[in-house]
Amino acid sequence: MSKIESIRTLRVVRLVLDCEKYMREALELAREAAAQGEVPVGCVVFDESGAVIGRGRNRREELADAGAHAELEAIREACSVRGSWNLSGCGLAVTLEPCPMCAGAVINARLSTVIYGAKEPRSGSVGSVINLFEENYGHRPAVYGGVLSEDCARLLAEFFRGIR
């Protein structure tokens, strides 16, 4: 392996490890949602230094609010921490492919990176129903999908088996 190839490989390994680290934090929040009887989806927002600055979990039933998705909650907290609606340079990791509302919030907040776990065939808007980030909104975050997707999907499957 050449030196350049080695550096590239190391960068990819680092990226995969980082993605999985954030996804594990998001999974922890998804488990908290499940414990509260909510569809288990969790999300974290991290800044350029790698610090987690926003956390969210689905609270749709608890708050009786159609907008109470994990991503919006994590984005709101991150905006509050930074004192700005502009999260350029930051990234988001969420256990389930974002719906159009949350993918739209990523665009509005100018988040630079989106990491997601399981696919959502009915409302996923980062490739499943449509890919909002390929439309002409003038903002195209880097996307890493399928991160720890089996863990994310298993949590959802167990939750839905439990309530049936």
Residues that bind a second copy (CB under 8 A): 60-61, 63-69, 72, 75-76, 79-80, 82-87, 99-105, 107-110, 122-123, 125, 129-130, 132, 135-138
Helix axes 3-35, 149-163, angle to 10 degrees: 10
Cα torsion 110, 45, 93, 20: sign: positive
CB 120 → a second copy: shortest distance, Å? Answer: 11
Closest contact distance (angstroms) between CB of 60 and a second copy is: 5
CB of 18 or CB of 97, closer to a second copy: 97
Residue 62 annotated among the catalytic residues of the structure: no
What is the distance between the alpha carbons of residues 35 and 27, in angstroms, rounded to a whole number?
12
Task: Choose the catalytic residue: 71, 73, 97, 120.
Answer: 71
Q: Is there a contact between 97 and 124 (Cβ–Cβ < 8 Å)?
A: yes
Residue 17 or 66 having the CB closest to a second copy: 66
Q: How far is the CB of 22 from a second copy (least distance, A)?
A: 19
Question: How many other CB atoms are there within 10 angstroms of residue 100's CB atom?
Answer: 14
Of 67 and 154, which has the nearer Cβ to a second copy?
67
Quick count: other Cβ atoms within 10 Å of Cβ 29?
22
Annotated catalytic sites, by residue? 71
